[in-house]
Amino acid sequence: MFTPTITVYYGSLINPTTLTSYETVTGCLIAVNAHGNIDWIIHDVKDSSIQETLLQKGLFDADVTIVPLQEGQFIMPGFVDTHTHAPQVPNTGTGYQSELLDWLENFTFPMEANFQDVDFAKKVYPSIIKKFIASGTTTCCYYGTLHLESNKVLTDIVHSLGQRALIGKCNMDRNCPSYYIEPSSSRSISDTQAFISYVRSLAPGPSNNPGNPLIYPVVTPRFAISCTNELLSSLKTLVHLDTRLHIQTHISENMKEVEYTKELYPDCEHYAGVYDSYGLLRNNTILAHAIWLQEKEIDLVKEREVGISHCPTSNFNLRSGIAPIGKYLDRGVKIGLGTDVSGGFSASMLVAMRNASIASTVVALQNNPTNAPIKEGKFANRQLPLATLLYLATKGGAEVCVLDQQIGSLEPGKSFDALIVDMSNISSTSKWPGDVDPALRKISTTTSSSRSSSRAILEGLLEKFVFCGDDRNVFAVFVQGKLIGGTSYA
Ligand SMILES: [Zn+2]
């Protein structure tokens, strides 16, 4: 009988569990089957007991490839970037003296218009997607441009590079420059339908697991301002007939945008109400930014089980504002993080985590400058702890994408979408001057028992990775069990 090959990773594991906790385990065995799914995970296995443990699992040498992690390395789930713009990456670090609407007109639309040229798309998209993968993003929600053919190119490239993704063709048929606008709502809809069919016709991915695609189409009205009522009505019909379809759009990013939206939709009570009136708010909708939501909008978002993509880097750069993420978490809203390139200046989710930390700190300083004890809620007006940042960047993002049964944490039955993080250069001092191996310090902040001390070391490595790390620390990137990036990937 054919026995599928199993790959067993052996080493330290850091895994998000809840919004306020994560597990740190040493001596972990993680068995990944030929389909790229996790069969089982066993904690606290000593070197000398590996073979015995494998035999107990009915595995013999011939069936198994063992991959031991090195000192200073750990496994964690890959990052889920819930909002970014692939065609804006060439503009990274450009135009941050502008606010949203001017920035779109002067920098963003001119860049995106280049993708009319399919050869341009073929030339620039490969390095862009490789950058996201190298940063440790295993699942990414991409906005494309309005162009059908270039979005197919983007899809082909993401597919060939093996990343899991949601990809959307922008719908935009008003309030856009003449050189970058769809000619009619009917054309916008027919191109959207063609794009959805194209994405769904792709081969399922490396797992060859039927019904388990790596790429999903996502309906992407750019934002309310750029869509006519006619277009939104047609999108309403489209998504109503197909509840599997993800939806992504922007909401309440900038005050001028909010005001203009109210002018365009005077019959709607608020911004979220515009999308709701067109049936676009549901459990597989991703709303980016959500900085200026009214109380009633927060209630509506929660009621519709919509996810919010928090994009703090972009919100700082374009002076859009600071989203009160702690408040949303207390209200039970699903939250993930987004890099929002090129409003954001980095494709790395580590940068999004850092800025989410700073954003929460600024909110806390504004509303509670004396750091007085807060009675209500766990998160509002407090700095987000490391556990929460980790959760939002992985499991929270998976919930926002409604893929949390499959990805976002490492558990039996889920896909092996994972990173091997390498912090071994923490002791080589070449990268972070003054850093020494914690074991060499005479006075340590760790406690005496070896178990809690190894936990403290792993927690320290995670914090260092989040606040000081970059793609040089991303040793391996796996999607559905397949190695697709990292410094070990030639
Ligand atoms: Zn955006």
Output 16 or 205, whichever has higher pLDDT. Answer: 16
Distance between Cα 344 and ligand 1 center (Å): 9
Q: Tell me what the pLDDT averaged over the chain comes to.
A: 93
| Gap from CA of 460 to ligand 1 centroid (Å) | 33
How far, in Å, is the centroid of ligand 1 from the Cα of 73? 33
Arithmetic mean of pLDDT, 333-354: 98
The alpha carbon of 85 and the centre of ligand 1 are apart by a number of angstroms equal to 6
Confidence of residue 447 (pLDDT cuts 50, 70, 90): very low
Ligand 1: centre distance to CA 391 (Å): 21
pLDDT at 1: 46
CA of 484 to the centre of ligand 1 (A): 26
Going from the Cα of 255 to the center of ligand 1, the distance in angstroms, rounded, reads 15
Per-position DSSP letters for 391-419, written without gaps between them? HIIIIIHHHHTT-TTTSSS--TTSB--EE
Ligand 1 centroid from CA 45, angstroms: 44
Residue 176 Cα, ligand 1 centroid: separation in angstroms? 15
CA of 248 to the centre of ligand 1 (A): 10
How do residues 2-28 score in pLDDT, each as one tens digit? 555 899 999 999 999 999 999 999 999
Query: Please, which pLDDT band fits residue 101 given cuts at 50, 70 and 90?
Result: very high
Q: How far is the CA of 288 from the centre of ligand 1 (A)?
A: 6
**Distance (Å) from CA 192 to ligand 1 centroid:** 19
Angle (CA) 470 474 480, round 5°: 135
State in Å: Cα 118 to ligand 1 middle. 22
Q: What CA–CA distance (Å, rounded) separates 48 from 34?
A: 26
* The most confident of 297-301, 372-376, 454-458, by mean pLDDT: 297-301
Q: Residue 427's pLDDT is what?
A: 47
- For 374, residues 6+ apart whose C-beta sits below 8 A from its C-beta are 368, 380, 381, 382
Kindly give the distance from the C-alpha atom of residue 342 to the centroid of ligand 1, in angstroms, as a whole number: 8
Q: Residue 294: helix, strand or coil by DSSP?
A: coil
CA of 313 to the centre of ligand 1 (A): 11
340 CA to centre of ligand 1 in angstroms: 5
Read off the pTM.
Answer: 0.95
> 96 CA to middle of ligand 1, Å?
14
CA atoms within 13 A on the CB side of 145: 31
Question: Amino acid letter at 436?
Answer: V
Q: Are 324 and 359 in contact (CB under 8 A)?
A: no
**CA 102 – ligand 1 centroid, Å:** 14
309 CA to middle of ligand 1, Å? 10
- pLDDT for residue 255: 97
CA of 142 to the centre of ligand 1 (A): 9
Angstrom distance (rounded) from CA 180 to CA 24:
49
Q: What is the mean pLDDT of residues 255-270?
A: 98
